[in-house]
Amino acid sequence: MGALVARMSPELAERVRRSLPPALAAHVHGPRFGGALDVAELYAHVGELEDVAPETAQLHARAVCGALARSLPRAVLAALRRELGPEIAATFG
């Protein structure tokens, strides 16, 4: 989740954190980098953070995006998709 949180505005990160169950909300923290992020960069960042192979990073990123899509209220998920852009939004299903 850190790779996504790094690209969220502080306001959106707080909305996401407040909307998640405590076990997931605990992972919404870390430094913010802002700026555009494409899917390849997301997977690469996950791979670096977790020190895993690219294929594993892709699976992990998709799992996190799926969990967020199932857990967040529609309005918060829509805001997240808008802020992260269409390429990343597609990974949320």
Q: How far apart are CA 76 and CA 20, in angstroms?
A: 10
Instruction: Give the domain range for residue 32.
Output: 2-92
* 24-56: pLDDT as tens digits: 898 898 766 666 678 999 999 899 999 999 999
Q: Name the pTM for this structure.
A: 0.85
Report pLDDT digits (tens) over 48-60: 999 999 999 999 9
| Count: domains in the chain | 1
